[in-house]
Amino acid sequence: MSQEILDEIIENTFRSTAIEELVNEYSEKVFLVWDDKWKIEEILRKLTKETLKFKIVWLENQLILQERQFKDLLNQVQTWIWWTNLNTRTVEHVNNYFCEMLGINKEDIIGNPIEIFSEYIIQTEENLERFENWRKIFKESGWVIPYELQFKTKTWEEKWFLLSSTHDKDKNIESFTTADITPLKKLIEALKEIDKIKENTIYVMNHDIKQPLTCALGFASILYDKICWVGKNVSEDNFKLYFLKLKESIEAAAELTVDYLDILKMELGEYKLKPWRIELLSFLNEMIDITSKKWKISNIPWDLEIIINNDIKCLKRIFINLFKNAFEAWLFLNINIDDDNEFVSITMHNDWYINKELLITLFKEKVKSTKPNWCWLWTYSVGLACKTIGWEIRIVESTKENWTIIEIKIPKILKNNQEKNWLH
Summarize pLDDT for 61-78 with one digit per residue, the tens: 666 665 565 555 444 444
Examine the pLDDT at 284 and tell me if it is beyond 70. Answer: no
Q: Give the pLDDT confidence score for residue 320 in this predicted structure.
A: 52
337 or 188, which is more confident: 337
- CA torsion angle 194 197 201 202 (round to 10): 80
374 and 412 inside one domain: yes
Q: What distance, in Å, lies between the first and last C-alpha atoms of the chain?
A: 71
* Residue 219 covered by a domain: yes
201 and 165 inside one domain: no
Sheet containing strand 413-414, strands side by side: 227-231, 304-308, 413-414
Find the domain containing 337 and state its range: 191-421
Q: Which of 57, 74, 91 is the last residue of a domain?
A: 74
201 and 340 inside one domain: yes
217 and 263 inside one domain: yes
Examine the pLDDT at 295 and tell me if it is beyond 50. Answer: no
162 and 213 inside one domain: no
* Residue 365 covered by a domain: yes
241 and 327 inside one domain: yes
Rounded to the nearest integer, the mean pLDDT of the chain is 53
* Residue 331 covered by a domain: yes
214 and 346 inside one domain: yes
257 and 306 inside one domain: yes
The structural domain count of the chain equals 3
Q: Give the pLDDT confidence score for residue 264 in this predicted structure.
A: 39
Q: Give the pLDDT confidence score for residue 184 in this predicted structure.
A: 55
172 and 212 inside one domain: no
Phi, psi values for residue 127, rounded to 5°: -65, -40
CA atoms within 13 A on the CB side of 166: 21
92 and 151 inside one domain: yes
CB under 8 A, 24+ apart: contacts of 129-138:
134/163, 138/165
* Residue 128 covered by a domain: yes
Cα separations in angstroms, 233 against 212, 255, 297, 414: 37, 34, 15, 15
Examine the pLDDT at 258 and tell me if it is beyond 80. Answer: no
* Residue 323 covered by a domain: yes
279 and 385 inside one domain: yes
Q: Which of 18, 50, 74 is the last residue of a domain?
A: 74
Cα separations in angstroms, 388 against 116, 225, 271, 283, 407: 42, 17, 32, 11, 16
235 and 363 inside one domain: yes
Examine the pLDDT at 260 and tell me if it is beyond 80. Answer: no
Cα separations in angstroms, 72 against 97, 154, 265, 349, 374: 11, 16, 16, 35, 21
* Residue 117 covered by a domain: yes
Total-model pTM: 0.28
- What is the C-alpha to C-alpha distance for residues 43 and 22, in angstroms, rounded to an integer? 13
